Structure 1
Amino acid sequence: MLRSRIIPCLLVRNKGLVKTVQFKEGKYVGDPINAVKIFNEKEVDELIVLDIDATKEGREPDFKMIENLANESRMPLCYGGGVKTVEHAKKIIHLGAEKVALSSAVIANPNLVTEIAKAVGVQSVIVVLDVKKKGLFGKYQVYTHNGTKSTGKDPKELAKQFEALGAGEIVVNSIDNDGIMKGYDGKLIDMIRSAINLPMTVLGGAGTLDDIKGIIKKYKVIGVAAGSLFVFKGKYKAVLINYPNREEIKELLK
């Protein structure tokens, strides 16, 4: 029986683990391999790792780091950052990741979704839509290159397009809510969820387990991802890798 997934999302910069606020700053919070080891012990559902500067800097994926992460991970691993070709995707899957996260490359060339899905399987193709409100009326737009370039494209229409092209899952990431820890963007989630039938994961804004519970209660089977919630603890945001225990998960899934 399918159930909602509760997913830590780790951001990597210069091989270090960082946490951003609205895609800016970037506080160093540790070594990603150590974080993976801790999440292994906590029996995490799934893990998303994103190299946030690879595309912006024109780099290809850090295959050695991916190999190290995949070798250490005892949970399904999704990796994104700098993936531009079918060959990149195939190599990432070959190294042991279960999923490949795509963004700027498939927005520039949507048919790449179909090509990669044929090469590695639909279930391994994840499209990440980084979304921000823009303009006087707060219209949602998709951004790329770590939130620095507006595509001018509507996230709802892009989600529908990528579903038709063969994506296996859509990750909707709110730039406005990133690192704020005051809850998810319900309006954005509603808009995308109503437009597609694909598995969907939401990211950006979780501050408490109640935020996660609210999303699961409303949308039933959905991926609920968080960054700050799982790397910080307490009022002063001390760095502490954490994840709900089994009893807490049962409560979240009620």
Structure 2
Amino acid sequence: MLKKRLIGVVTVKEGIAVQSFGYRRYLPLGKPECLVENLDRWCADEILIQVIDRSITNIEPDFQLIEKLGKLGLETPLIYAGGVRSVADGVKLIQLGADRIVFDALLRDDLLVIKDLSEQLGAQALIASIPLSVGANKLEWLDYRKHSLTSISEEILDLIREKTISEILITDWKHEGLSGGFDRQIIDNFPLKNIPIIAFGGIDNLNQAKLLLELSNVAAVAVGNYFSYREHAIQAYKEILTCQSVRPPIYKSQFSLIANLND
């Protein structure tokens, strides 16, 4: 796995790629596969497909979407998030083309399923999603189904310590979709210091991304909205990365995201 990575994020709601603002307001962008193909062409290190209306309505993962993406001949590894409820769900997603899977609701619903998934697929295929914010001088974990905030339990921290999963996707949910919004305090206050973190939410500033990537426990930054309208944004990000193992930027000005979305 790459030491430091840049992950492009495509957020999907009701089958349409959307620009998200704090997971409360959405602007439609078009077909998910169009955005994915551009992220692949522009050499993102991974692509995260997060289908945000699955777990909240207790619907199975969007197998049709991941199968369609798996047939595109992409060079970039795909990460899938949304609706994973069982070992069977996780295995099927990998079989259809996902390289790794993300889960959130399972952390609250059934830790045994996560352990079984780790045994079946390996910890490297699993990412725990923990949307966080800072309040009253402590970290607060968002339960997006109940719209409530809790602390991260020791049981979950123990699961992570056991290396059952490979990485944690930490989303600054309060600042998701806001320019320059990611709150560094979330990383600083996270209780586990030796688990690789993917930072996501409000990251659209090159210097901001660089500072996050310089943190020893941040393995990647994930960016969504910023890449939707700015051709060569990935290349600009890559040019500030100092890690030599990251794929170099590639410029192909004849390809335009907006043009593809309008096809």
Q: Which TM-score band applies after superposition, normalised by the shorter structure?
A: 0.7 to 0.9
Q: Does 1:74 align with 2:75?
A: yes
Contact kept, 8 Å, 1:129 with 1:170, in 2: the verdict is yes
Distance 1:27 1:158 in 2: 34
Change in CA separation of 1:225 and 1:120 when aligned onto 2, cut-off 3 Å:
same
Give the counterpart letter for 1:132 in structure 2.
S
Bigger mean CA offset, 105-114 vs 19-28 = 105-114
Contact kept, 8 Å, 2:206 with 2:240, in 1: the verdict is no
Alignment of 1:88-237 (within 5 A): 88-134=89-135, 137=136, 139-145=138-144, 148-150=146-148, 152-154=150-152, 158-164=156-162, 166-192=164-190, 195-219=192-216, 222-233=219-230
Give the counterpart letter for 2:139 in structure 1.
Y
> 1:244 matched to which residue of 2?
234
Distance 2:104 2:237 in 1: 33
- Percent identity between matched residues is 24
Secondary structure of 2:45's counterpart equals coil
TM-score by length of 2: 0.83
Contact kept, 8 Å, 1:39 with 1:243, in 2: the verdict is no
Change in CA separation of 1:210 and 1:75 when aligned onto 2, cut-off 3 Å:
same
Secondary structure of 1:68's counterpart equals helix
Bigger mean CA offset, 83-92 vs 63-72 = 63-72
Unmatched runs of 5 consecutive residues or more in structure 2: 244-263
Distance 1:94 1:213 in 2: 35
| CA shift for structure 1 position 106 | 2.5
TM-score by length of 1: 0.86
Distance 2:144 2:218 in 1: 30
Counting matched residue pairs gives 242
- 1:39-92 Cα shifts (integer Å, max 9, x gaps): 121111001111101011111011111111222232111101010000000000
Distance 1:217 1:44 in 2: 19
Distance 2:118 2:143 in 1: 21
Give the counterpart letter for 1:90 in structure 2.
V
Unmatched runs of 5 consecutive residues or more in structure 1: 234-240
- 1:67-120 Cα shifts (integer Å, max 9, x gaps): 112222321111010100000000000111110101112322122221101111
Give the counterpart letter for 2:201 in structure 1.
G
The alignment's C-alpha RMSD in Å is 2.3
Change in CA separation of 1:225 and 1:248 when aligned onto 2, cut-off 3 Å:
closer
Distance 2:64 2:44 in 1: 23
Distance 2:163 2:217 in 1: 25
Contact kept, 8 Å, 2:10 with 2:36, in 1: the verdict is no
Higher relative CO (Cα under 8 Å, sequence separation at least 6) belongs to 2
Contact kept, 8 Å, 1:126 with 1:168, in 2: the verdict is yes
Distance 1:244 1:204 in 2: 16
Change in CA separation of 1:157 and 1:242 when aligned onto 2, cut-off 3 Å:
farther
Give the counterpart letter for 1:84 in structure 2.
R
Distance 2:239 2:153 in 1: 32
Bigger mean CA offset, 87-96 vs 13-22 = 13-22
Distance 1:6 1:80 in 2: 17
Contact kept, 8 Å, 1:4 with 1:220, in 2: the verdict is no
